[in-house]
Structure 1
Amino acid sequence: MSPLLSVIIPVHNRAAIVTATLDSVYSQDYRPIELLTVDNNSTDNSLEVLTNWANRHSCAGFNVSVLSEPQSGAAAARNKGLEAATAPYVMFFDSDDIMEPGHIMRAMQAFINDTSLDIVGWDICNIGLDGHRTRLPFADNDMRYRHTFNSVLSTARYAIKTSLIRKAGGWDNSLPVWNDYELGMRLLMLDPKIKRLHGKCTVTVTQSIQSITGCDYSSRHKQLEKSLDRCEAGIAATDDIIWLKYIRLKRVVLAGLYAREKSPEAHRLLDIALDKEPSLAKKLLLIAAFRYTAAGGRGIHRLLRKVL
């Protein structure tokens, strides 16, 4: 029986921890599964670990392939896996994420019950650098707003029709950060049918200094803004004026985060956002949003949503 789901995991220098992630996939009660691991220029023995694990676990109903991607970056590695995927649905996972038993079963059951679904998403448990656990909810509706401000289509939070993510163009290899955020924008431009799974969190994402996604903003300002520029250009080509205002507020929030880090880039980015807003009254609102965020405030997008 051919697999309905391909699970793709990029790996870079994770020899010490990646087996826990792989074991969590193997422990799923759903079969068949195609697991594609992609070593991305690791300088430790990650490739050896992946190969040995595959040799021990690959079997009927659980086909494991170990690929290599010489171009640096998780986006390139994910695209390598996407190119090789043979199943009609695909799920991306990072090499330090853990899925609980039954996770794949409930996702695939949703697709089986409604074949018109394009994306099935779920809440995740996020463990911060301080060890604090936070539930990050997916969204039942209003996906463009929710993804703009809450990144609900980040890497480990959904499964998707392989044909749809390929139609969207896959991951943008030129974006070193926020490439999952930018991909989510392109997916939403295709107006997919999305279902949220409720219930307990069955995916745990652990933040670390070595994580693919970091926690600092201003030191990566060029890369972050490149992703935002790409998102704004795509949204500007649609007829969704409100969505365009959301992404511009997102830029102001990012400027506020720079200011919180005492970065001189903060006011430069704020000025860019203000130049895009013709209304004086709304310029003042954006300045207030910047100051609120810089002072440590959270959730300004909820406060300003109705007046944008």
Structure 2
Amino acid sequence: MSLVSVVMCTYRRPHLLPRAVDCVIAQTHRPLELVLTDDGSEDDTPRVMEELAGKCGATGVSANFAMKPNGGVASARNAGMGRARGDYVAFLDDDDTWQPQKISKQMAELERCGADACCCQFLQVREKDERHMPPSPDQLLRGRGPSAYITRSADAHINSIVVKSEVARRVGPFDETLRVYEDFDWIVRLLCEADFACVPEVLGRYEYTAGSLFKFKGYEQLLSRDEMQEKAVLGVREKCRAKPTWDDSAWQTRVAQDFDQFIKHRLYAGELGAARLLYDRALSLGASPELIQGARRKMRKAWWLSLLGLRLKHPKFGQIAQVKG
């Protein structure tokens, strides 16, 4: 049986870490290595890790634990991948969990079809609802090439992926300049290198907890997230455009999708000039005018409202200062 290294990073969540480690220990697959990196926590995390290392050893899971100065999730994942000894690598965050047979089922599928990587569905849990990610198993990543993932017609959470270590090394490290969307960037690059298979089942649980990187509150945090998303989407083209499977038309569709949202966020804040600059930038990058016509209509409406001293209201929160997600 192939050794699978589970790369996990943690930061200031000692109350959640045991649950995540327990779900790794509960995996039916062996041999298994847990590569856990503490990204500079200044709390009880080191003590909790010491206890969990002993628990891993008692259940046949190799504990490869280390601490490093704080550098962000991409930095912590890279540190873990650098220490991983397995033939395959899987990822798990400290606030998420797996079903006990997740890795076993994925390894069986990889052996059956000879693919380089395998994904599955996850249950995405928010404060008031639960949904499958992706919604249908038909939307899971399959084959090679990033087009469907870039346009959002296919998806897989980073914590659902098991990949050959040699392929992961070929993809290279996570981009440490990205505070969020580092997983989007890495998965696009992975899809340029790997043949994907999938297990069409929900085998994991992804929770939006208080410390989730994607959570934001207020306009300034939303704007910061938009800027990081733009950086990731534009940057991945430069990294991948020379790859045989790169599809610029798919990337331009993604530009239209994302800039449509960026423009609306600026309009809700009454920043008409900034919205116009984003619209022009999207067109200059090749976004189809038809795909951002909704944003253009809102720009026109926002202009008329501005003549009356009014601004567009956010459809859910009303005032942009109240926005959160």
Please tell me whether the aligned partners of residues 252 and 273 of structure 1 are also in contact (alpha carbons under 8 angstroms).
yes
Q: 1:236 to 1:251 in 2, by over 3 A?
A: farther
Please tell me whether the aligned partners of residues 255 and 270 of structure 1 are also in contact (alpha carbons under 8 angstroms).
no
Q: Give 5+ residue unaligned stretches, structure 2.
A: 135-139, 300-313, 317-325
CA drift at 1:296: 6.4
Give me the whole-angstrom Cα distance separating, in 1, the residues matched to 2:92 and 2:297. Answer: 34
Q: 1:237 to 1:57 in 2, by over 3 A?
A: closer
Determine the structure 2 residue equivalent to 1:208.
Answer: 209
Alignment of structure 1 residues 83-232 onto 2, 5 Å: 83-114=82-113, 116-130=114-128, 132-137=129-134, 138-140=140-142, 144-150=146-152, 152-190=155-193, 192-199=194-201, 201-215=202-216, 217-232=222-237
- Name whichever of 176-185 and 49-58 sits farther off: 49-58
State the Cα RMSD in Å.
2.7
**3-state secondary structure, aligned to 1:58:** helix
CA drift at 1:108: 1.3
CA drift at 1:141: 5.7
Look at both structures and tell me which one has the larger radius of gyration over its CA atoms. 2
Q: Cα deviation per residue 1:110-151 (whole Å; 9 max; x = unaligned)?
A: 12223x311101011000132x11001223468623321437
State the TM-score, normalizing by the size of structure 1: 0.84
CA drift at 1:69: 2.3
Q: Cα deviation per residue 1:214-269 (whole Å; 9 max; x = unaligned)?
A: 35632323322221221132344346332332332233244256247537354432
CA drift at 1:62: 1.1
**3-state secondary structure, aligned to 1:221:** helix
From 216, 240, 244, the equivalent of 2:247 is 240
Q: Which runs of 4+ in 1 moved over 6 A?
A: 292-297
Q: Cα deviation per residue 1:124-181 (whole Å; 9 max; x = unaligned)?
A: 1000132x11001223468623321437243212111111111111211111110000
2:281 maps to 1:272: yes
2:295 maps to 1:290: yes
State the TM-score, normalizing by the size of structure 2: 0.79
Please tell me whether the aligned partners of residues 74 and 212 of structure 1 are also in contact (alpha carbons under 8 angstroms).
no
Give me the whole-angstrom Cα distance separating, in 1, the residues matched to 2:157 and 2:267. Answer: 24
Please tell me whether the aligned partners of residues 34 and 64 of structure 1 are also in contact (alpha carbons under 8 angstroms).
yes
**3-state secondary structure, aligned to 1:9:** strand
Give me the whole-angstrom Cα distance separating, in 2, the residues matched to 1:208 and 1:257. Answer: 27
**3-state secondary structure, aligned to 1:16:** coil
Give me the whole-angstrom Cα distance separating, in 2, the residues matched to 1:100 and 1:267. Answer: 47
Q: 1:136 to 1:167 in 2, by over 3 A?
A: same
Give me the whole-angstrom Cα distance separating, in 2, the residues matched to 1:206 and 1:10. Answer: 15
- Name whichever of 240-249 and 71-80 sits farther off: 240-249
Identity of aligned residues (%): 22
CA drift at 1:183: 0.7
Q: How many residues of Structure 1 are paired with residues of Structure 2 in the alignment?
A: 288
Determine the structure 2 residue equivalent to 1:29.
Answer: 28
Q: Cα deviation per residue 1:182-224 (whole Å; 9 max; x = unaligned)?
A: 011111222x21111113x110000123113335632323322
Give me the whole-angstrom Cα distance separating, in 1, the residues matched to 2:177 and 2:90. Answer: 22
- Name whichever of 175-184 and 60-69 sits farther off: 60-69
**3-state secondary structure, aligned to 1:202:** strand
Give me the whole-angstrom Cα distance separating, in 1, the residues matched to 2:163 and 2:270. Answer: 38
CA drift at 1:270: 2.4
Q: Cα deviation per residue 1:28-65 (whole Å; 9 max; x = unaligned)?
A: 12111001110001122112111111123314731112
Q: 1:291 to 1:50 in 2, by over 3 A?
A: farther
